[in-house]
């Protein structure tokens, strides 16, 4: 049987009106912190879920925020979505996300579906169809309760964007300070008009920040990641080496990692002969044999800013708000020539607190028991070093 608000009230020993007001986070709910905690605990233990349809029929808020995101969005966008979910949860909101990819009609259908389902507001990541000559944000800019995340033009709408021009400028200046004289910008695409808006911004910013550089558009879309390597080998063989390029800013960290591998295979040292800068600062940057310099934005700050703007709009603020958040250049070995000759610090087990990790060992040996004639023995070894090894050896005897 599905628990009701009266069940929650009975368990918390309060009136059902008070329980409904507290769970609905109504401003007029008068209850102590202890009473509110009792009500929330009762709802959680019973598995109570408010009826959103009933709330809407009463003219109340659904406490649901809709998010439209590209089904093939890069990790950086997915990371922002994860932060939005966490921040929204602390504010008492739930997230309803839908996906669309290179399909403007589907985007509009999803937008209407979210509105019909009574979301309080919408955050859109998947609206940049400029390469298809469709400008959906223009069609939706009159919606007072929608905020666009990235790649939104300078029009009458609320949006949060990244400071791409300043980020590209910082990357170019960093490369120049490390002695680089000829820099390339590598983007995936076939023509400027077919680029998404974020790549167009990088293109234009690079032309301004590095007028003596060159831009290469690589047609990687029809290829799988395994097929990228021949493209980069040709790029190195026919362009980068003969024309004496000594640095590159790459569209994302994964493409930069493939380029790094092919450069090293060709006998080109990084960063002594060639400096690399990626984009997004994903985990792979720190896992490569030569750590990768990269540009990135603060995902938590983006999420908090998007939600603040949207909640202000839900509260009735009609004015469009546009916020540009800075990109940070995280400098690592792939572009830092000044420290390339220094000795790298080797990782040591002594740098890790043994209390932070444990080792689970599984050993199979024949015992004659069971249909397979084997028994699985699992031992947990929380310690490290000699003392931990002696302890483990003693327990295994």
pLDDT tens string 85-123: 999 988 888 899 888 777 778 888 888 888 888 888 999
Chain centre distance of CA 262: 27
pLDDT of residue 350: 53
Q: How far apart are CA 236 and CA 245, in angstroms?
A: 9
Cα–Cα separations (whole angstroms), residue 65 to 89, 139, 144: 11, 20, 14
CA distance 237 to 266: 9
CA 269/CA 247 separation, integer angstroms: 11
Fold (topology level) of 5-50: 434 Repressor (Amino-terminal Domain) (1.10.260)
Q: What is the predicted pLDDT for the residue at 375?
A: 45
DSSP β-bridge partners for residue 192: none
pLDDT given at position 338: 82
Q: For strand 275-279 and strand 247-250, is the pairing parallel, antiparallel, or unpaired?
A: parallel
Q: How many CA atoms lie within 13 A of 133 on its CB side?
A: 1
> Which helix (H) or strand (E) element contains residue 68?
strand 64-70
User: What are the residues facing 377 on neighbouring strands?
Assistant: 363
- Look-up of token digits 């009230």: 9
**Among the listed residues 255, 288, 281, the one whose alpha carbon sits nearest the alpha carbon of residue 186:** 255
Q: Which of 337, 319, 226 is nearest to 275 (CA)?
A: 337
pLDDT of 381 reads 45
CB 65 within 8 A of CB 95: yes
Domain ranges of the chain: 5-50, 64-163+299-325, 164-296, 354-396
Whole-number pLDDT of residue 57: 46
CA distances from residue 152 to 39, 239, 389 in whole angstroms, order as listed: 42, 34, 57
60 exposed, middle or buried (CB, 10 Å; 0-12, 13-18, 19+)? middle
Output the pLDDT for position 243. Answer: 94
Task: For the domain covering 164-296, report its CATH number.
Answer: 3.40.50.2300
Q: How far apart are CA 150 and CA 160, in angstroms?
A: 6
- For residue 308, CA distances in Å to 160, 224, 372 come to 11, 39, 59
Same fold, 64-163+299-325 and 164-296: yes
Pick the CATH number of 64-163+299-325 from 3.40.718.10, 3.40.50.2300, 3.30.530.20, 3.20.20.70: 3.40.50.2300
Its pTM stands at 0.72
Segments of the chain scoring below 50 in pLDDT: 56-57, 343, 370, 373-397
Whole-angstrom distance, CA of residue 151 vs CA of residue 160: 9
């Amino acid at each position: 049987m599905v628990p009701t608000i009266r069940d929650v009230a009975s368990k918390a020993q309060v009136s059902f009106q008070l329980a409904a007001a507290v769970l609905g986070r109504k401003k007029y709910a008068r209850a102590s912190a202890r009473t509110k905690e009792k009500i929330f605990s009762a709802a959680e233990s019973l598995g109570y879920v408010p009826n959103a349809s009933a709330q809407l029929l009463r003219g109340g808020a659904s406490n649901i925020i809709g998010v439209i995101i590209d089904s093939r969005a890069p990790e950086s966008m997915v990371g922002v979505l994860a932060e939005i979910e966490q921040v929204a949860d602390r504010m008492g909101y739930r997230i309803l996300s839908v996906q669309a990819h290179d399909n403007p009609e589907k985007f509009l259908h999803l937008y209407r579906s979210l509105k019909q389902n009574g979301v309080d507001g919408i955050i859109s990541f998947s609206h940049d169809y400029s390469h298809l000559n469709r400008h959906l944000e223009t069609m939706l800019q009159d919606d007072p309760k929608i905020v666009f995340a990235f790649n939104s033009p300078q029009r009458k709408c609320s949006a949060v964007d990244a400071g791409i021009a300043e980020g590209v400028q910082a990357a170019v200046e960093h490369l120049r300070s490390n002695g680089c004289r000829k820099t390339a910008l590598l983007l995936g695409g076939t023509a400027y008009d077919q680029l998404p808006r974020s790549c167009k911004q990088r293109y234009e910013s690079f032309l301004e920040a590095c007028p003596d550089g060159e831009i290469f558009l690589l047609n990687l879309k029809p290829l799988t990641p395994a097929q990228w390597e021949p493209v980069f080998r040709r790029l190195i063989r026919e362009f980068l080496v003969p024309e004496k390029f000594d640095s590159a800013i790459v569209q994302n960290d994964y493409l930069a990692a493939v380029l790094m591998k092919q450069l090293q295979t060709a006998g080109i040292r990084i960063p002594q002969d060639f400096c690399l800068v990626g984009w997004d600062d994903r985990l792979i940057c720190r896992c490569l044999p030569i750590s990768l310099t990269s540009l990135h934005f603060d995902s938590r700050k983006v999420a908090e800013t998007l939600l603040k703007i949207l909640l202000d709009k839900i509260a009735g603020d009609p004015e469009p708000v546009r916020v540009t958040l800075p990109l940070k250049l995280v400098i690592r070995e792939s572009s830092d020539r000044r420290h390339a000759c220094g000795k790298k610090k080797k990782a040591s087990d002594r740098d890790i607190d043994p209390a932070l990790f444990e080792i689970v060992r599984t050993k199979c040996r024949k015992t004659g028991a069971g249909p397979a004639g084997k028994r699985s023995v699992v031992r947990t070894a929380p310690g490290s070093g000699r003392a931990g090894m002696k302890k483990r050896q003693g327990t295994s005897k």
